[in-house]
Structure 1
Amino acid sequence: MAKWDNMLSMLWMLRSGRKLTAAQLADSLEISVRTVYRYIDALCASGVPVVAESGHDGGIRILESFKETPLFFNSVELRALADAFKFAQGAGYPYTEELENALKKVENGLHEEQRRDLTRQTSGLDVVSPARSPAVVPLLRDLEEAAKNGRTVRIAYRKANAEQPDEREVDPYGLAYDRGEWYAVAFCRRSQAVRTFRVDRIARLEPTEARFRQPEGFSASVYFRNQSEREREADGPMTVIRLEGEPDTLSAVCGHWHLRHYLTERTDREARFRLDIPTMNKYLPIYLMSFGTAVRILEPPELKRRVRDMAYGIAKHYEDDPD
């Protein structure tokens, strides 16, 4: 058992109210008596009032005034917390400052040995943050607050390639981070339908007096998945698509904005998708052609034939061209 797990186990044993000898603790935790005393010193340094009484009725106990249990993290848990902060910061998470303060509180409660270990383990990972408008963070906060309180907001939204933003009132249901961008999923009162709005395209936001009730159990991530399902060419029949290739190439295929929603299994050299045949026939041959020989279609045979016929047609087209 890891050091910090042992210390926490010892703490719970002592909180039972019974006096325990160092030998009893050592036997229960399968450690040495010397290690027990080292752990006691560490608990005392953390603010736990551990008392060791000598004599016939002596033993180790915790003062009854002690109410709180200190937090102990193993090295991997600490690294995960610090790395999670880096990813949140890189994504433009709207409460990065509060998250950093929380992490500092955790670090302040660590032993010097844990602090050194945390610095050593997290120094090798960095997240490169994309350039973002400073206005995105307050917009994310306002949208989340509106979603939480059920308040309609008025936004000036600029569509892609539009010269001027247009105003509309929306009911924010939730936020989603997808492909490096933040999106608000909201009910648009003008179109009377749920829409997605890229937050960095919102030029202005102001609350209104109108209220709304969010659909029960609404999930922004489920909405995104359902949107992809609706964008299929047909309801069926479905087929399994197996692709083989180098890990980096497969990652590019699996990360495609639409295709990734149909990924069912991924290994280092193979990826499996489940997709309806009309959508497969319409979009996949030309998309997979763009990878050349870096991707091999294992199944279905129909997709292989379509790609082969397309490649043959392109070669035939240039067959008689002069060099």
Structure 2
Amino acid sequence: MTRPSTRGGSRTSADRLARLLNLVPYLLARPGIEIAEAAGDLGITGRQLREDLELLWVCGLPGYGPGDLIDMAFDGDRVTITYDAGIDRPLRLTQEEALALVVALRMLAETPGVANREAVERALAKIENAAGDLVAAPVEVRLSGDSQRVEALRAAVEGGRALRITYYTPARDETTERVVDPLRVLMVGGRAYVEAWCRRAEAVRLFRADRIDAVTELAEPAVVPPQAQPHDLSGGVFRPSSDLPLITLRIGRGERWITEYYPCERVEADGEQWLVSLRVTDLGWARRFVLGLGPQVTVLAPVELAEQVHAAAVAALDAYATPAPDLAVPRDADPAGTAGSR
């Protein structure tokens, strides 16, 4: 079966917006042009051009009255722009805009898990060619973390191979070895992750690339069970649920950033302080988290966490209060151990 030609017929929002921005100055330079000729120049069908012109009729300056909207006159199959609403020149990027767009596309091209990398590279080549010297500055884009490890993870996903990884879990402060069947490599919050079926946990897990201490591609193929489904990460990696421990803190002004960085279930003002409740993966992580904060933080709940923080703080203070042993050698000592050998 022959696929119908789609030359210039992309109806994506981005394609159409770019076409509309250039359509008015194009028609201004060619008053009375035939619609068929204009459609041929623009690489679209006559029907698409007519639909674009109908859309332009309701576009214009704020106020959107009769004197604000783009206007045009038709004479049979010919069209002439009679009011351009200020869109009288083709779209041009400033140097800063062109450079920002190139950097963003280069970053996207380096991002693991991008489905159509070739399309990104084609778009990047077109913009770099059109911008010319505007983007001639030596800009190199690299992902944070171990790029070789990310490439190894990506190769395993594309090759359908199982992996043996050594992984550090900061929440439990432990390192484990696991065999996983990778599903995909992706970027979330600027960090690379591999999502995989973990045979040890018998569930889908998300492993951060920079916490994988070692990775070995196995000869056996990845075997992903039917129930293994990728997670919806549109809201971020951490997904608080009702079965996770809930902690409540009283924080001062200097720690209010917590409410912006972590998903909180409750934030209430208590005079100059705030009462904050949030879910955590486990109390061990919460203990280390609270100990790393300033003195304006008090644990209100649960009692177990308050006791753990108190005990750890007392132990740390005791360690500082204990004088270091005096390792200096007394002047009358015999360092060679020869006393009495004479």
TM-score after normalising by structure 1: 0.48
Structure with a larger share of its residues in helix: 1
TM-score after normalising by structure 2: 0.46
Q: Specify the structure having the higher radius of gyration (Cα).
A: 2
